Chains A and B, each alone.
Chain A
Amino acid sequence: DIVMTQTPLSLSVTPGQPASISCKSSESLLNSGGKTYFYWYLQRPGQSPQLLIYEISSRFSGVPDRFSGSGSGTDFTLKISRVEADDVGVYYCMQGKQLPTFGQGTKVEIK
């Protein structure tokens, strides 16, 4: 199984400031077809998860452009350019190269 490791596990951010979450996979997520099936999700308190970013850097429908994804191979990053109160929740990374596995989650709160 591919193990996904997120850092940090919690983050306290001042509104308007940037935030960054890292996710590392135990092996490269680049497949033989040249695609990387790597995703970021946000689970707001009391809600289901929602997709933010797919295939490393593509924003899902309706996701604000203050969210951006980057990385390659085994190292990936989610950046929020200016954190808003609505961004509070737990962020998860997930790989889909093999049977899906999630990171442990990063809890983001507002200072």
Chain B
Amino acid sequence: EVQLVESGGGLVQPGGSLRLSCAASGFTFSSKWMSWARQAPGKGLEWVANIKQDGSEGNYVDSVKGRFTISRDNAKNSLYLQMNSLRAADTAVYYCARGWGIDIWGQGTMVTVSS
């Protein structure tokens, strides 16, 4: 069974940092683009970042460029999102997702940025 399990969410103060992780199983992780998307409370979906199979290319939505870094460890079947200089507007459920055109979503992890 294909599974994506996120972890690392929590409450952080504005300007702080957080690292999200996603454990993938049930498919050949190293063969897939991987993505992060988010959903602010009561709002719609927003794509955040994606990363190529070998980690050589990453793309970001403009609002997180320079603050967030996506990475992966194919040996551990894991995807990461390092989030720095967090803002209140980054408060959301963060989803790990498979593919550029997303076909599988994780259950999400909540990130709350508040003082």
Q: Are B44 and A92 in contact (CB under 8 A)?
A: yes
Q: Are A37 and B108 in contact (CB under 8 A)?
A: no
CB distance from A82 to the nearest CB of B (A): 25
Interface status of A39 (Cβ within 8 A of chain B): yes
Q: Which residues of A contact B11 (CB under 8 A)?
A: none
- In A70-108, which residues have CB < 8 Å from any B CB? 90, 92, 94, 96, 99-105
Inter-chain residue pair count (beta carbon < 8 A): 53
Interface status of B41 (Cβ within 8 A of chain A): no
With contacts A37-B101, A51-B102 taken as known, whether A99 is within 8 angstroms of B47 at the C-beta atoms is: yes
Q: Which residues of A contact B31 (CB under 8 A)?
A: none
Q: Which residues of A contact B95 (CB under 8 A)?
A: 48-49
Chain B residues within 8 Å of A, Cβ to Cβ:
35, 37, 44-47, 50, 59, 61, 95, 100-108
Chain A residues within 8 Å of B, Cβ to Cβ:
37, 39, 41, 43, 48-51, 54-55, 60, 90, 92, 94, 96, 99-105
